[in-house]
Structure 1
């Protein structure tokens, strides 16, 4: 996502138009990248597991104790190191994208569409959502702190709440919720007033 928004902004800043290339082609390329990267990591971890030419600390020991990697060194090498690389790359590309948007906004030749800015905000929220739990995960593994493991579990459990506040709760939804709450409060007040009024009390009796 970071690469996509960076390339979009780079083309926009040079051509002053938003590129509308084949989305299917980009989707296929991104899918190949995800599958190839994941398959490569898994293959290397499987080949390294039990190999005498690889240090024991990098043996994954799949399924020996739990249905996961059962060696802390393997977890750091095959899970957290790639995640840390991706997160670092995301930060660099997001900062570069923000700088390009700032330059385009301050120049006289503004971009033809606000689509890149919208995408940047969306991707930043996604990066925070996905990166926050991984950051705590990596920190807990490095510091060997059990308390951070509980925090990570809580963050994973609340991911749906974060998605709601980050993406679903827009202005339209906020206005609808406020209107719904206002109508509910009005209905409750009306009901209470009718019960407390003499006519309401007589009717209730």
Structure 2
């Protein structure tokens, strides 16, 4: 959810605020916030890459590693806090203009970092470092998953090799959708000048949220959990309605001249997950 929030924040600022160049102060604010949002997005992708590698990179840790409140808190400090290490110096450079380094938020054409070299150093290089680390962690995660699959292959001999390979490939695609690898097209397009790559980059990068939704929300486990959740909500609503009706009947039975026997019938149902929640956590990671 943190990654989705940062990604949504960055996309909205670029789509609806990137052209507010008629107001200098507003443009500066939007540019700085967008810069922070996209750095936070890369930081969250890096945090997820680390967590996936920590969980699946070593087959021995698959059942041992879990993300507790402490780990999540550390991830949040890292992902939401580390961009300030770049944003604060950039703001100082923007307002003081005390060095020969040409850095400024906002320009006549867009509310972003105005100078190309400054954009490369303060955004392109950090993003490239995140992507490089993500690629290394992704490779190690794939090796760990492959080892686990080979170790459990004999338990799934009734499944065809093609089906197992397809399922494994889908796992890798899901993980890759969290790593931001679509930005590689942007780097290649910027350094090669191939215009077609810009179109591929824009389309794929703008659909990253859609890819994440399809990969981690459109599956059977999530559907079953939603079904159970809605069923439980309906049962609670029915119970409340039944309780309210019983109270009304009880009041009516206490009125003079009225002979009516009221009773309260309520049904309680526990939501038996049988490991579904833990399975969902694994599914959301893979």
| 1:136 alignment partner in structure 2 | 185
Give RMSD over aligned pairs: 3.5
Shift of 1:5: 1.4
On the 8 A contact 1:41/1:78 being kept in 2, the answer is yes
| CA distance, structure 2, for counterparts of residue 162 and residue 16 of structure 1 | 25
| CA distance, structure 2, for counterparts of residue 74 and residue 123 of structure 1 | 31
| 1:123 alignment partner in structure 2 | 175
Structure 1 residues 147 and 12, CA, compared in 2 at 3 Å: closer, same or farther?
A: closer
**Structure 1, gaps ≥5 residues long:** 111-116, 174-205
Structure 1 residues 27 and 61, CA, compared in 2 at 3 Å: closer, same or farther?
A: same
| CA distance, structure 1, for counterparts of residue 63 and residue 125 of structure 2 | 37
Shift of 1:164: 5.2
| 1:63 alignment partner in structure 2 | 106
| 1:102 alignment partner in structure 2 | 146
**More helix per residue: 1 or 2?**
1
Q: Could you say what secondary structure the match of 1:77 adopts?
A: helix
Q: Could you say what secondary structure the match of 2:111 adopts?
A: coil
On the 8 A contact 2:177/2:208 being kept in 1, the answer is no
| 1:8 alignment partner in structure 2 | 55
Shift of 1:38: 0.8
On the 8 A contact 1:5/1:120 being kept in 2, the answer is no
Structure 1 residues 145 and 48, CA, compared in 2 at 3 Å: closer, same or farther?
A: farther
TM-score under structure 2 length normalisation: 0.46
Shift of 1:172: 8.4
